[in-house]
Amino acid sequence: MIERDPWLAFARHTPARIALGRTGASLPTQEVLRFALAHAQARDAVHTPFDATEVATQVRALGFETVQIASAAPARDVYLRRPDLGRRLAEASRATLETSAHGPVDLALVVADGLSSA
């Protein structure tokens, strides 16, 4: 028999995994399966490649200029081990930004890959 958690009312106000109920000393099977699915989807999203060239092509087709730059993490596997490098701009990209600057702009958009490009 599944016992419902008295915190169930709070669960409606957050996406957090609270008030899941229990079966004896464990979670209900349905909740364990939901967590396993969410974890698998998150892992897939982390490893889904981001095609910056395709995004840039589509943006240029709309008539906008694009500049592609990169972080100090040379590859995704490095970024996963060293996320601090993903917060730093690569020196070559810093130079690219300095040479491509045209002065003040009204709007600049940044489209970036992160731990999930999905």
Q: What is the pLDDT of residue 3?
A: 65
DSSP β-bridge partners for residue 26: 23
Q: What does each of the 118 residues of the chain score in pLDDT, given as a tens digit? A: 676 657 777 888 888 888 888 888 999 999 999 999 999 998 888 888 889 999 999 999 999 999 999 999 999 889 889 989 989 999 999 999 989 877 888 888 888 887 655 4
Contact 68, 52 (CB under 8 A): yes
Residue 57 to residues 31, 67, 69, Cα–Cα distance (Å):
42, 11, 15
Phi, then psi, of 3 in degrees rounded to 5? -100, 125
Q: Shortest CA distance to 46 belongs to which of 18, 83, 85?
A: 83
Query: Would you give the DSSP letter of residue 89?
Result: B
